[in-house]
């Protein structure tokens, strides 16, 4: 049989196997998130900064549901994982950096552009590290409940705090302070700080609290729509203040594991970042990554 002998039924079945619709749904949501991120860049260029922020928040909301939907309908795929990683870099690395540059950082000239560029690059490095260490067999079991560094969506929402403050009529931060804050968030993204993720926690709502939970969600969405800058500012500040709690929780669990572990091995640091040797190794063709990347 030649490579072009398509009369063979096995060849036809391999080349033209239909793709289930459930595999497409998460990818469509991810593409919508990319559209929102790109639209935020256009809106910031046009000076419509409030709409640009709404677009980023919408992209973050889509990013939070596409992976869960993929797992629910069993629609995970390697293509979806790679597309989601690209979407995260565009939406939560490039878009916020350009928004801040067009809004204020351009006043600093080259220094402002460097701050914006460092943030965007940090987002890409953060995602690359996550992909490289996703299946690290050496990290302890409890580490699966922690991110290493601030995740990209949270970094994008928190780095826009100067814009929220300005829309609250509290005055603009000095451009130098905005640049310093941008670099701080970039550092937190690429740092090895353990950040609580809650991914492995199975949250169950008692039957008597189902309706109150619905009401609470509706109230939160209503507050976000009615008072977006208040909610985003308060949420950002609370998130940053909670980062030391994640670090403390990781250290406590590491000490508990060290005390009770049979080998007595010490676990005192977050999941290790990839070394140059790890990065030089080709990826495993049989890597079966989940459909959600953070």
Residue (of 273, 251, 278) closest to 190 by Cα position: 273
Ramachandran angles phi, psi of 146, nearest 5°: -135, 140
Tokens at 35, concatenated = 């559209």
**Site of tokens 């690359």:** 128
Give the pTM: 0.78
- Whether 64 and 36 have beta carbons less than 8 Å apart is answered as no
Q: C-alpha 143: how far from its chain's center?
A: 17
How many C-beta atoms lie closer than 10 Å to residue 245's C-beta? 11
Question: From first to last of its 294 residues, what are the pLDDT tens digits of the chain?
Answer: 455 555 555 555 555 567 776 777 888 888 999 999 999 999 999 999 999 999 999 999 998 887 778 778 777 778 878 888 889 999 999 999 999 999 999 999 999 999 999 999 999 998 888 878 776 666 767 667 778 889 989 999 999 999 999 999 888 899 999 999 999 999 999 988 888 776 655 667 777 777 888 898 899 999 989 999 999 999 999 999 988 888 887 787 778 777 776 554 444 455 554 444 454 444 444 444 444 444
What fold, for 21-133+143-201+209-258?
1.20.120
Contacts of 241 (CB under 8 A, 6+ apart): none
């Amino acid at each position: 049989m030649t490579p072009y002998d398509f009369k063979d039924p096995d060849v036809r079945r391999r080349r033209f196997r239909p793709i289930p619709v459930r595999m497409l749904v998460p990818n469509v949501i991810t593409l919508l998130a990319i559209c929102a991120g790109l639209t935020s860049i256009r809106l910031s260029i046009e000076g419509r900064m409030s709409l640009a922020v709404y677009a980023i928040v919408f992209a973050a909301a889509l990013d939070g549901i596409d992976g869960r939907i993929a797992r629910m309908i069993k629609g995970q795929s390697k293509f979806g994982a790679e597309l989601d990683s690209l979407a995260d870099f565009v939406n939560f690395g490039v878009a916020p950096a350009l928004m801040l540059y067009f809004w204020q950082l351009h006043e600093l000239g080259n220094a402002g552009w460097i701050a914006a560029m460092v943030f965007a690059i940090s987002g890409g490095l953060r995602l690359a590290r996550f992909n490289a260490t996703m299946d690290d067999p050496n990290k302890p079991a409890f580490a699966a409940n922690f991110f290493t560094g601030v995740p990209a969506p949270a970094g994008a929402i928190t780095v826009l705090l100067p814009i929220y403050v300005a829309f609250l009529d509290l005055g603009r931060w000095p451009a130098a302070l905005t640049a310093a804050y941008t670099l701080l968030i970039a550092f937190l993204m690429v740092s090895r700080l353990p950040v609580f993720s809650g991914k492995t926690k199975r949250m169950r709502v008692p039957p008597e609290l189902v309706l109150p939970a619905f009401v609470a969600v509706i109230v939160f969405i209503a507050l976000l729509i009615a008072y977006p800058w208040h909610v985003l500012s308060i949420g950002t500040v609370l998130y940053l203040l909670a980062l030391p709690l994640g670090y403390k929780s990781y250290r406590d669990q590491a000490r508990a594991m060290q005390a009770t572990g049979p080998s007595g091995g010490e676990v005192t640091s977050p999941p290790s970042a990839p070394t140059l040797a790890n990065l030089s190794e080709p990826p495993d063709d049989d890597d079966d990554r989940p459909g959600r990347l953070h």
